[in-house]
Amino acid sequence: MNVLIDHAELDGHDQLAALMAANRHPPIGETLEFALVELERGRVVFEGSPSRKVFNPIGSVHGGYAATLLDSACGCAIHSSLPAGQGYTTLELKISYHRALSDTSGPVRAEGKIVSLGRRVGFSEARLVDAKGRLCASATSTLLVFPLEVAARG
């Protein structure tokens, strides 16, 4: 398994802080050219500038770009509050698109926040705004929380 930071030693916040300090990004962030730029327990912000590389066949930014930033923001908001040895996965992601993105929209910012976090399930929400602060998309997410050892055996 290719891990960026040892999950066994650090809690979720400290894992993300270590990635930021080392200027390391998960592969999806490298592929779509977005990065974690703000971090608090229960709150994160990702930033990226959509380019023509993420256009769909009709010449606008593919909805999956916004969905990926929002899913990352929702997930990492939960991640930032997990104890060491805990992981998560998205069970549900609902996205509403409010304004189209283009290659002139950026930088865009996806801010994710925890709504509630229990022992097995977390709920979070995120908003994606363009460089002018206009709401482009929003999301709510339900995430399953689990011990990482269980995931490694499966």
Average of per-residue pLDDT across 129-147: 97
Residue 38 has pLDDT above 50, yes or no: yes
pLDDT of amino acid 6: 52
The predicted pLDDT at position 4 comes to: 53
State the DSSP string of the chain.
---SS-TTTS-HHHHHHHHHHTT---HHHHHHTEEEEEEETTEEEEEE---GGGB-TTSSB-HHHHHHHHHHHHHHHHHTTPPTTEEEEEEEEEEEE-S---TTSPSEEEEEEEEEE-SSEEEEEEEEE-TT--EEEEEEEEEEEEEHHHHHH-
pLDDT digits (tens, 9 = 90+) for 90-115: 999 999 999 999 889 889 999 999 99
Average pLDDT for 43-70: 95
Task: Answer yes or no: is pLDDT of 2 > 50.
Answer: no
Q: Distance from CA of residue 103 to its chain's centroid? A: 20
Q: What is the mean pLDDT of the chain?
A: 91
Least confident of 11-20, 104-113, 133-142, 145-154: 145-154
**Mean pLDDT value of segment 122-130:** 98
Burial (Cβ within 10 Å: 0-12, 13-18, ≥19) of residue 47? middle
Of the pLDDT bands very low, low, confident and very high (cuts 50, 70, 90), residue 56 is: very high
Judge whether 49 and 33 are in contact, CB under 8 Å. Answer: yes
The band of 153, judged by pLDDT with boundaries at 50, 70 and 90, is very low
pLDDT tens digit sequence for 65-92: 999 999 999 999 999 999 999 999 999 9
